[in-house]
């Protein structure tokens, strides 16, 4: 677990605190990390969509404002 990317630090700490590492099956550890990585990717996608929507809204608002002037 020491070789994991730093983005997994809090997951690693949670796993260490909640489970006996000696009893932890490697597949369980891998699955926990995969689930975490999927959540990170989903959050990134949602943030990208939100940013894109905000940008489009800003452009629309600017166009509408210019029409009024």
Q: What is the pLDDT of residue 35?
A: 87
Q: What is the pLDDT of residue 34?
A: 87
Q: What is the pLDDT of residue 25?
A: 79
Q: What is the pLDDT of residue 20?
A: 66
Burial of 24 (0-12, 13-18, 19+ CB in 10 A): middle
Q: What is the mean pLDDT, run by run of 10 residues, along the chain of 69 residues?
A: 67 70 75 86 90 88 82
**Structure tokens, 19:** 């489970």
Q: What is the pLDDT of residue 19?
A: 61
CA distance 29 to 35: 10
CA distance 55 to 46: 14
Cβ neighbours of 12 (radius 10 Å): 17
Q: What is the pLDDT of residue 36?
A: 83
């Amino acid at each position: 677990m020491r070789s994991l990317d730093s983005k997994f630090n809090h997951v690693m700490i949670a796993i260490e605190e909640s489970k006996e590492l000696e009893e932890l099956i490697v597949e369980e550890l891998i699955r926990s990390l995969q689930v975490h990585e999927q959540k990170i990717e989903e959050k990134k996608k949602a943030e990208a969509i939100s940013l894109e929507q905000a940008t489009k809204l800003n452009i629309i608002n600017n166009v509408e404002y210019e029409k009024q002037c």
